[in-house]
Each structure stands twice: as C-alpha cells, then as structure tokens.
Structure 1
Amino acid sequence: MKLENLFRGEVSSGAESALPAVMRAILVRSQFVPGVRYSLGWRGLKQSVAGQLEGWTARINGHSGVYGLSFTGIEDTPKWMSATFNLCYFPDSAEELVERCSLRAAALTQQPDYISLIREFIQHKDMLSLFSIGTLFLGVNEETEALYLGMESLTAQRSIAKEGVELLHDGKKVQVIAAGDYDQDFPAYFVTQAFFEVLAASVSFHMEEPPAWLWERRYPGMGIVYNREGIIRENFASDIDKVFIGLGYGHGRFDNLFEKLKNTKSAAKGEISWKEGEVIPPDYEGKSWWGAHLTRDYKTLDKKSLGIDERPPLIILSGFLGAGKTSFLQHFIEYQTQRSRFVAVIQNEIGAIGLDGKLLDYTVTEIDEGCVCCSLVGNLKQAVQGILSEFQPDFVILETTGAANPLNLIDEINEIASLVRYDSAVTVVDALNFDYALDNFSIAADQIRAANVLLLNKCDLVEDEKKKKIHEQLRNINPPAIVFTTIRGDLNPSLIFDTGNPLDEKEKLRAGLGSELPVFGVHVHDGLWCKTLDIPRPLDREQFLSAVKSLPRMVFRVKGIVEFSGDPAPVVFQYVAGRFEISQCPPFSGKERFLTFIGQGQDAELKDKIGKTGILFD
C-alpha cells in the first residue's frame, strides 16, 4: 500500500488534522488529470471553508445534485486512527429526488439562494441536518500499513407525519401531507453508495492497488414518526436496513475496526465478507474500485492519443483594480467545470515589473471545482512547465494583478509557444469608474491596448449615453479589439474562446445562422454575429492564407475543419483577432468541412465583408 501517494506526514502525531488531510488528498489529487477525473466518476469538486471548519462539495457521474462532505470527529479505535465524515446530498431543484425529501428540505431546494446555501453548507445547521444521508469512515493503522474506507446509511430515510401536515395558503389551511403519510422517504443508501464507489475508486487509483478486504453487514433500520407537537418516536421498519460497508487496503486487522465503528447493538440481518484471493461476491463484481488502480494508463480522453494538439489555450486576463476580473473568472471556471474541463489559473504577483527571469516561486494555493490556482513570482515559462508537469489543464489563464501592465508579458508568449497555445488577451474594463482610472492611471490605457477582447463590465450601473461614450473611447484606444458589454463579468465563453471540438461547436452555432446571437441571456448582445459555411472541396493553401491575412477587424474568430489541395488529411484551422494556427485534425466520423465565423457588425455588412475575403470561393 502506498499511503505516501496521499500523505507524507505522521498520522499518529495528530489524527485530528492528519485524517482530514488524507481525505483532502484523496479528493483533490483525483482532479488533477481530466481524463482520470472523468474515468473515476468525478464531475466537480469545490472546497467550503468557514473558520476552522472544512468541507467539500462535489458532483459525480449519474447524479445531478451536489454532495457535501464534512469532517465530524475522531473515533476511539485501538491500534487505528479513524475519523468520521458526514455526507449530505443536495438534489437539483428539478430532480425527482426532491419529491422524496422532507417537506422542509424540498422547500429549501426551491429557494433563490439554494445554490449559495449549498456552497456554504457547513455554516448552516439546517443544510447539514435536513440533507444528511450517511456517514463515511476513514482509518489508518498505527503502522500506516493499512487504510480503511467505510460507509453507513439507511436504505430509506423515512419520516411519517402522524396527524398529517397543514399549511396556510391564501388564508386557508391546506393539507399537504395526509395523516399517517410519508413526509420523507429518501433512498439514502442508494445515493450514499454512489458517492462511496467514486471515493473508493479514487483510493484504489492513488494506492495503485484494489481493496484487499471487503465486509458488508445489514441491521434492522428505523424510521421516525412525529406529531404536531414535534414529539419524535423511532420505530423499526421491516423494509429498512441500516447498511455498513467497509473496504480495506494493505495489511491490517480490518475486522476489528469494522466491529468498533458500527454503532448498533442489534442482531445482523445479513452479512457479506471477502478477502484477497477469494471470489468477489456477485453484488460487488462490477464495482469500479476493483480496476481503478489501472486508470493510471487511462487514455480514452488523452488529447495526444486522439491526434489533438494537446497544448492548452492560454488566456491573459487583466483589468484595473475592482474591474471585475474575479467575477469573470468565476463564470468562466463554472462554465468549463459543467463541461468536465479543468482550468489552471496562474496569478501573477509581479505587478508592473516585467518578468525578468528571477528565481521561480510558484505554489498551488487552491484547488477549486474544476480549477487549480497558483501564485507566480518569477519566470513565466518555468511556471507553465511546472504546472503542466503536475496537471493537465484544458485552459491556462494568466491573471495579472490590477496594477500590472500586460504589455510586459507579450514578449514572453513566444517563449512558451511549445507549451501553450496563445488564445487571446482579455481586459475587463470598469464602466462605472472608467473616467477616473483613465485620467489618473496610465496603466489602465495600457491594459486596454494590450487586449484582443475587451469586457466593458458593470454596464448596469451606467446610463446608455455614458456607455456609448466609453465604447467610442475604447475604439480610439484599441481599434482592432472586440468589445462586449457585461454585467458582473458574465460572458458565454464558447463564443469567443477556443472551448473544444469545432464539430461540437458547429452544431451549437447552426441555429444562429443568419441571425443575431445573444452573447448572454440577460445582457446586451453587442451585435455579435455567427456564420457557419460548408466547404465541399479542398482549398488552395496559399490563396486561403492570403485571404485570412486580409480579414477585416470585425471578424474576430474563425474556426473549423478544412482540407488543402495535395494534403493527405484535413486540418483544424483557428483564427483569433489577426492570429491563426493550423493543427492536426482529430479522428471523427463523417466528412464535414466547414468554417465558423464570429464577428461584430450589421448583418449585411458582415456578410458582405466575409464574402469578399474569397476564402470559400475559387
């Protein structure tokens, strides 16, 4: 067993801090490589901290809701250091499982601040109690030669309203639960076991071996009955089981720990036991933890094996102090996380000083849901090399400080061309404080000049006339840049950034052919246009590239799959604000060849300018 893959400290020196650290490592280290993360079953992970309390929210494959995991304490277990963790499940507001929650829990899922409450669940007792579905156990023996992972849950969390429940509606009492009916009948074991399987698969992956020991034991379970006075009585229910499952890795007396951790004195209803060398019990044959240690060579989502340019796109993000960079980043990361993509954010702490090859100092400061954040002081190339050696991000964002001049970074982009693929420079502009920043700080104008994309943020806080004037000033400072107006930094990344397979994007954009597309639901759409054109025959490379170089400023992005005369295979073509790149095309079914144009301007003007480029015509 390779516990050092997870934790290198002394567990025995402080189990109260060491065991949560081991759990943290299991969770966090499973997120580093997108293909591995996806294979294990993870779909997102985010830390939740309140003072000294630490929790985690997570999404897994097959469940639309969010899990919440929090440390609850250390158990007194001889020869073992063991800890317990409370597991919650917060169903999606539209999920069918909401109907099986208690009335109070179901009402919470429909509140406007439900998502915020989930993110801060460890601070709210109602969230912890109403949505708790089970307990997880983590143990390491004194010799650190064995690791135990266990769970406890009821097959059904059931509560019965003895006299029913009535609520006031329009001044009248309405019975929402009939007398003697279920208030709650939640399949806690089913939902808990799904998370436990993903967690156990992650342990197998990190330990580089499957479990050596398994035990399941079932006991009679209890439901509750309550009356209008709030008096609660527990009753055994013949169709409810209390289920304990334990997995052991390495070499240790797992049975002793299992017996100690089960908190019931009832006679067992059933038992399954297994140890290494025996035939795996039928109920557990297909569990992912048996083969997850082989995931190390998992290549299904590996970009290089698909023939895809595996360099992640690089986005330089700047903006004056308080402009809204953090808001934009949060939206960007959330968008990518929902699509199982991983973002590396390098935070440049150099300020206005150029990167001059000082001693590198970068550290991982945060692992968020779908994101790793790093602080950088030193050479950019070394930092990017370090990040890519440990992670496999789908995007790298270099976030400069508010007082930094992104022009100082431009010269370094060519040095990292073999590591990352420059996508664009984005500057967030504060519409509310635009005049003050421009009049008092020359760096604000430099940030605007350095950008391919300008996000005019806080547009809901200024009048239309003021907004129009700022647009004109931005055009004067940086004529080639594309300008978007945003509120709270919210912009759909797929329309301006390289966000994945051009074939997938083509299908998403087809619905907008010949019409103006809104960039984001509630915001001004900035006259953004999208046009996808089919290319039925190979193009002349020289003529094509000559036409590309003459594209007008209003055409911001072009991407798609084309064939050149005389070439053996199609290629992916990417163009952003005057820069273009041609790379190997990944294998795909079908023979579609196309280019998608994204730009700004009036319909007739846009079509006319694209048509005159000659790209699609002999």
Structure 2
Amino acid sequence: MKVTIVTGMLGAGKTTFIQHYIKNSSEKTVILVNDFGKTGIDGEVLSQVNPDTIELPSGCVCCSLKFDLITTLQRIQNELFPEHLLIEPSGIASVSAVEEALFQSGIKHFTVVTVIDSVDFLEYYNSQEYGAFFEDQIINADLLLINKIDLVKPEVILKTREVLYNLNPSAIIIPTVKAKIHKEISLSQNAKTPQSSINHLHIESLAVDIPDGIKKEDIEALFKGFAAQRTSSVLRAKAIIKEQKGSFLVDLASGKCFSKRLHKGTDRSRMVIIFKDLDSEALRSEVVALLNKRG
C-alpha cells in the first residue's frame, strides 16, 4: 500500500490537490481526512470524487486523535486493501507527529506532499508567526507545490522557491495553479526515519448549523466581511449550503472567497470558522445574529 501525506497551511489547496489527483488516478484509493472542526466539510467534498473517504473529525491527528489514527490505519490495511492511501491532516497538524503515528503502525515508506500558499507564504515566513510548525511542513516534504501562482507576481514565486530550497534542498519544487500537477509526476515512496515531533498550532474552530432560507450569496457576504479585515483573526472559513437548486461549497482562503456547485446534494447547511485570539461564544453570537438578519 502506497501512503501519501498531503499537508499545508489552512487554505493552501490540500483538498483541491487530492481532488485533481483522484480524478487522474486509476488506483484503488482510500482518503483519510482529518477535518479540524465538527462539520466534516472536507470529508463530504472529497467523498464526491472518491466514495472511500474516511473522516477523523473534531480534533487533530497529531494529538487527541493520534490513537484513532493508528487504529484507523490498521483497519484500512486489513479490511479495505487499497493500493494508495491519501492522508489529509488538518492545516494545523504537525507533519512529524503524523509521521510518528505511521511509524507506530509499521508504515515506514511514504511520501509527503506540502502545498504552499504563495499568496501568504512570505508574510508567514518573515513574521515567524508560526515558527517551527511552519518549517516542519516544509523540511519533511518530498514534494513542495507552490500553489496559487496565478494570484502573485513572478518575483514572489522566485523568492518563495528560494526560501523553500534553502529549507529543503532535496525536495522537488513545482509551481501550480489550483494545485494541479502533471500525471507523469510520481508520488514515489521514500524510506523514512523517525524524527522528533513538534506540537500543533493552538487554533480554535467554531461549527455553526446554518438555518433554512440562508442562501449561498448570504454566506459569501459574511465571508467577504471577514476577508475585508486582512488583520482579522479568522484564518479560514468553509460552508456547505443546501438550496432547492442544488448544494454549494463556499470557501474563504487567502483573503479570497469563492464558491462552486457540488455534484451531490447535502443533508444540511453548515459552516466552520477557524480562528485565533477570539472569544468563541462572542464569535458565535455575532455569526448567528448576522444569519438571522438574512434568513
């Protein structure tokens, strides 16, 4: 069984990368996704392209869910027999800690793909806001994708590549748009050695059920309000909206909001907001009040 960890900061394009990869792969693949929050939005989005999607929601695979991850890995190997297992930890998970769980499950050959958000990368790196955690995702990577190059200037791409190369000269570095890579690029399995793991980021999430009558445009307006405050403590937001005309995903990442129709319907509307340095109950009250105004 091939194993690939797909990591990257919140909103970098991990789920998008997996969607493209699955569409172009003929392998029997299982996706194991750890959605930070209780909504399971990433799991539902990925299940639209791959039915064999297993969720480990609410928590982080590198700490509170580590035992669950090890148990699930064993079940996947013994019951599902995939050719390829894709693991998407939450954007706050420590790569080295996920690798540690793989070693404890007897898996010593795997690939680490790290998706880099070129819009925010240099700002995060220069500020050292995420310090060792940020570098952990880079130095453990076999393949580094500089994503969203269509949204930045060429000099930003060059500087990003330079920083990545200095941190991890052995990794393959590929610029991408929407996290797409050529079919010919192999996710080769590399022998790994155990490393000291670091703690995950201390970030919170808020899950909110969205009442009936709220439309995609209402959530877009809410998310754009978050985006207008670039110094906002809201790091990421995602929602799945159920309407009569279909179901939609609304996503806020890198200060930009976008939406798309889902191929399959959803049973309910819901959102997750990922944030830091905010009072969760105050944020919930604010969001619920805004939704009630629009409902």
Identity %: 28
1:344 alignment counterpart: 30
Partners of 1:314 and 1:421 within 8 A in 2: no
Provide, for residues 290-336 of structure 1, a one-character-per-residue CA deviation record: whole Å limited to 9, x for no partner. xxxxxxxxxxxxxxxxxxxxxx1111111001111111011011111
- Superposition deviation, residue 409 in structure 1: 1.9
Q: Secondary structure of the residue that 2:24 maps to in structure 1?
A: helix
Tell me which amino acid in the other structure corresponds to 1:373. T
2:160 alignment counterpart: 470
- Superposition deviation, residue 485 in structure 1: 0.7
- The structure 1 residue matched to 2:119, chosen from 424, 432, 436, is 432
Check 1:378–1:409 CA distance in 2 against 1; reply closer, same or farther (3 A cut).
closer
Higher strand share: 1
- Superposition deviation, residue 497 in structure 1: 1.4
The answer to whether residue 81 in structure 2 is matched with residue 392 in structure 1 is yes
| Distance across 2 between alignment mates of 1:384 and 1:411 | 13
Partners of 2:108 and 2:192 within 8 A in 1: no
4+ long deviations beyond 6 Å: none
1:451 alignment counterpart: 141
- The structure 1 residue matched to 2:94, chosen from 382, 395, 405, is 405
Q: Secondary structure of the residue that 1:427 maps to in structure 2?
A: strand
1:54 alignment counterpart: none
| Distance across 2 between alignment mates of 1:398 and 1:373 | 10
Tell me which amino acid in the other structure corresponds to 1:408. A
Q: For 1:191-590, what aligned pairs fall within 5 Å after superposition?
A: 312-336=1-25, 339=26, 341-349=27-35, 367-376=47-56, 377-379=65-67, 380-417=69-106, 420=107, 422-438=109-125, 439=127, 440-442=129-131, 443-498=133-188, 576=190
1:5 alignment counterpart: none
Larger Rg: 1
| Distance across 1 between alignment mates of 2:75 and 2:102 | 16
- Superposition deviation, residue 421 in structure 1: 6.2
Q: Secondary structure of the residue that 2:7 maps to in structure 1?
A: strand
1:169 alignment counterpart: none
Check 1:414–1:497 CA distance in 2 against 1; reply closer, same or farther (3 A cut).
same
Q: Secondary structure of the residue that 2:54 maps to in structure 1?
A: strand
Q: Secondary structure of the residue that 2:145 maps to in structure 1?
A: strand
| Distance across 2 between alignment mates of 1:447 and 1:384 | 21
Structure 1: runs of 5+ lacking an equivalent: 1-311, 352-363, 499-574, 581-618
Q: For 1:17-32, what aligned pairs fall within 5 Å after superposition?
A: none
Tell me which amino acid in the other structure corresponds to 2:114. T
Partners of 2:66 and 2:101 within 8 A in 1: no
- Superposition deviation, residue 413 in structure 1: 2.5
Tell me which amino acid in the other structure corresponds to 1:318. T
Tell me which amino acid in the other structure corresponds to 1:347. V
Partners of 2:32 and 2:88 within 8 A in 1: yes
Q: TM-score, normalised by structure 1?
A: 0.27
- Superposition deviation, residue 369 in structure 1: 3.9
Provide, for residues 351-379 of structure 1, a one-character-per-residue CA deviation record: whole Å limited to 9, x for no partner. 9xxxxxxxxxxxx9674444422122342
- Superposition deviation, residue 435 in structure 1: 1.8
Partners of 1:313 and 1:395 within 8 A in 2: yes
Q: Secondary structure of the residue that 1:496 maps to in structure 2?
A: coil
Q: Secondary structure of the residue that 1:471 maps to in structure 2?
A: helix
Q: Secondary structure of the residue that 1:495 maps to in structure 2?
A: coil
| Distance across 2 between alignment mates of 1:371 and 1:497 | 21
| Distance across 1 between alignment mates of 2:170 and 2:177 | 23
Q: Secondary structure of the residue that 1:488 maps to in structure 2?
A: coil
Q: TM-score, normalised by structure 2?
A: 0.53
Provide, for residues 268-298 of structure 1, a one-character-per-residue CA deviation record: whole Å limited to 9, x for no partner. xxxxxxxxxxxxxxxxxxxxxxxxxxxxxxx
Partners of 1:342 and 1:371 within 8 A in 2: no
| Distance across 2 between alignment mates of 1:494 and 1:381 | 31
Check 1:335–1:441 CA distance in 2 against 1; reply closer, same or farther (3 A cut).
same
| Distance across 2 between alignment mates of 1:328 and 1:467 | 19
| Distance across 2 between alignment mates of 1:473 and 1:400 | 24
Provide, for residues 199-254 of structure 1, a one-character-per-residue CA deviation record: whole Å limited to 9, x for no partner. xxxxxxxxxxxxxxxxxxxxxxxxxxxxxxxxxxxxxxxxxxxxxxxxxxxxxxxx
Partners of 1:428 and 1:454 within 8 A in 2: yes
Q: For 1:129-148, what aligned pairs fall within 5 Å after superposition?
A: none
Higher normalized contact order (CA 8 Å, seq sep 6+, divided by chain length): 2
Check 1:327–1:369 CA distance in 2 against 1; reply closer, same or farther (3 A cut).
closer
Partners of 2:13 and 2:147 within 8 A in 1: yes
- Superposition deviation, residue 385 in structure 1: 1.4
Structure 2: runs of 5+ lacking an equivalent: 38-42, 57-64, 194-295
- Superposition deviation, residue 393 in structure 1: 1.6
- Superposition deviation, residue 349 in structure 1: 4.9
Partners of 2:19 and 2:49 within 8 A in 1: no
| Distance across 2 between alignment mates of 1:412 and 1:378 | 7
Q: For 1:141-156, what aligned pairs fall within 5 Å after superposition?
A: none
Tell me which amino acid in the other structure corresponds to 1:374. I
| Distance across 2 between alignment mates of 1:321 and 1:350 | 10
- Superposition deviation, residue 350 in structure 1: 7.1
Tell me which amino acid in the other structure corresponds to 2:105. I
Q: RMSD across aligned C-alpha pairs, in angstroms?
A: 2.6
Q: Size of the alignment, in residue pairs?
A: 175
- Superposition deviation, residue 388 in structure 1: 2.9
